[in-house]
Chains A and B, each alone.
Chain A
């Protein structure tokens, strides 16, 4: 079985401040992990993914995430928030090999305060 927990359904940061969105996963086998972003009234799009190569993964728009096996975490960070980062962010987990179900977290809405 696999699962994802996103801590904090709403996060507010000031423009220019550090963005930290938390994701913890549970998986009985080595996982593949994803962060997706959803802007208002749009579908999800991939920010970044971890597939067992480098543990620090860089994505689009200045975001990055670090895979920490000992903490079963895959937190998303960005050094300086922009107004355009306001969106909902989803962490997701799956496994390698053939068809494997992707399990999504419930999402974290990021508000950026000017």
Chain B
């Protein structure tokens, strides 16, 4: 039981390049989330998927797109990376939303030059 896995762990991009961050969970959770963590700002929600087949914007969706590929997988795409997207990205999942605990992946550290 691996929990929530993320790939890659580290990535360096040049401005304008694109990439996809992958996330998978093996806990049969319905809800999945993408956050970014920046110093002094806590975690900010980028996008979430309350259930398979649905996605919605969070607080900071600009410059990102997501795909809920199936119940297990939720990917985050940066179409044209900018230095402001340098951050640590976390994927999380929960059985449902609301009062259910979120389980977090180990994170992807992204640097955009």
Residues in A with CB closer than 8 Å to B31 are 99
| Main SS class of interface, A | loop
B104 and A45: CB pair below 8 A?
yes
- Shortest Cβ distance from B24 into chain A, in angstroms? 14
A interface size (C-beta, 8 A):
25
Q: How many residues of B contact A (CB 8 A)?
A: 23
Looking at chain B's contact residues, the main secondary structure is loop
Check B98 against A44 for contact (C-beta < 8 Å): no
Identify which of A42, A90, A96, A105 contacts B107 (C-beta below 8 A): A42
Residue B82 is within 8 A (CB to CB) of chain A in the complex = no
Q: Are A43 and B42 in contact (CB under 8 A)?
A: no
Instruction: Select B105's contact among A43, A90, A95, A104, beta carbons within 8 Å.
Output: A43
- The answer to the question of B12 belonging to the interface, with a C-beta cut-off of 8 Å to chain A, is no
Bitwise, A87-114 to B at CB < 8 A (1) or not (0) is 0001000111111111011110000000
Cβ-defined contact, A32 with B99, below 8 A: yes
Closest to B101 in A: A46
Are A43 and B104 touching (Cβ within 8 A)?
Answer: yes
B42 closest partner in A (C-beta)? A106
Q: Are B101 and A34 in contact (CB under 8 A)?
A: yes
Residues of chain B lying within 8 A (CB to CB) of residue A105: 42
A90 touches B42 (CB 8 A): yes
